[in-house]
Structure 1
Amino acid sequence: MPSSMFSGSLSAPSVNVTIDTGNPFLNQTVDGFLKIGTVAATRAVAEDTFTAIKRGKLSQECLEHALKRMCKEGAYWGSAAGVYVGMEYGVGRIRGSRDWKNAMIGGALTGALVSAVSNNNKDRIVTNAFTGGAIATASVFLNNLT
């Protein structure tokens, strides 16, 4: 009986862009903004490309819409990531330790801050703080699985 085998490996991409502002807090914040903002912008372009292909229509209007959406998504997610990375770093400096608690506190503060800026519903701000803390904590735990 014929058989075949597939072998390969998958690893996370490594992007190393260094912008030195002279301040470690700002360096971390800018790094988070650039990396996550780039991912969000790429996602927006991929979605708009898929939509244009699906419709079978590509026009200047579609390209302008894609560019605007790419900038908006990149700026929004990059800003949220920059705030989170800065918060986590700041909490770590204040606490004097690097552990999952920094991620939880940084995520909660970021969730509350982003929610407060975009929404004035107090219950929603608290809910988003819990969500941000939970997601950040889960991310740390998942990264430490081996």
Structure 2
Amino acid sequence: MPRTGFKGSLTGPRVDVMVDMGNPFLNLTVDGFLKIGTVGAAKAAVEETYNIAKTGSISQHKLEHSLKKMCKEGAYWGTVAGVYVGMEYGMARVRGTRDWKNAMLGGALTGALVSAASNSNRDKIVMDAIAGGAIATAAEILNSLS
């Protein structure tokens, strides 16, 4: 039986910003903060642009609100990414190997830390740790497939 298929790949732009803090841990953490923080800010910018276009009106108040949201989202996403990258790097250093387990442990610790900073519900913190570990592990496995 004849078969048809499609095979291709999708790649994004590669942006390298080098900030030398004098320590590999700090370098990776700041790099993660800047790159993912930019993604968070861009997400907020697109959402706000859509909302402004949908309403059909623009004002200084809306622009100020949009800028504040972009800064807040960028800082939040960047902080989470910086903590994750630092945790994963720390796990690799402590364990002496680089594998998916570092991503899992780094994601779980990041999920727990971010959750504990924003609430005190133990069950929520545990669930966020599990989610962080699962997401980081899945990302690491998908990264290794390419």
Shorter-chain TM-score: what band?
Answer: over 0.9
CA distance in 2, matches of 1:11, 1:25: 27
Displacement over 3 Å in runs of 4+: none
Give the secondary structure class of the aligned counterpart of 2:145: coil
Opposite residue 97 of structure 1, the aligned amino acid is: T
TM-score (norm 2): 0.93
Q: Is 1:42 paired with 2:42?
A: yes
CA distance in 2, matches of 1:36, 1:129: 20
CA distance in 2, matches of 1:11, 1:123: 38
5+ long unaligned stretches in structure 2: 1-7
Q: Is 1:19 paired with 2:14?
A: no
CA distance in 2, matches of 1:101, 1:145: 16
Q: Output the aligned Cα RMSD.
A: 1.1
Structure 1 residue 126: Cα displacement:
0.4
2:88 maps to 88
Opposite residue 67 of structure 1, the aligned amino acid is: L
Opposite residue 50 of structure 1, the aligned amino acid is: Y
Q: 1:95 to 1:119 in 2, by over 3 A?
A: same
C-alpha offsets along residues 84-136 of structure 1, whole Å, 9 cap, x if unaligned?
00000000000000000000000000000000000100000000000000000
2:107 maps to 107
Give the secondary structure class of the aligned counterpart of 2:39: helix
Q: What percent identity do the matched residue pairs reach? A: 68
CA distance in 1, matches of 2:75, 2:10: 29
Aligned residues: 139
CA distance in 2, matches of 1:144, 1:93: 20
Q: Where do residues 1-146 of structure 1 align in structure 2 (5 Å cutoff)? A: 10-146=10-146
TM-score (norm 1): 0.93
C-alpha offsets along residues 46-90 of structure 1, whole Å, 9 cap, x if unaligned?
000000000001110110000000000000110000000000000
CA distance in 2, matches of 1:18, 1:106: 23
Structure 1 residue 145: Cα displacement:
1.5
CA distance in 2, matches of 1:74, 1:29: 15
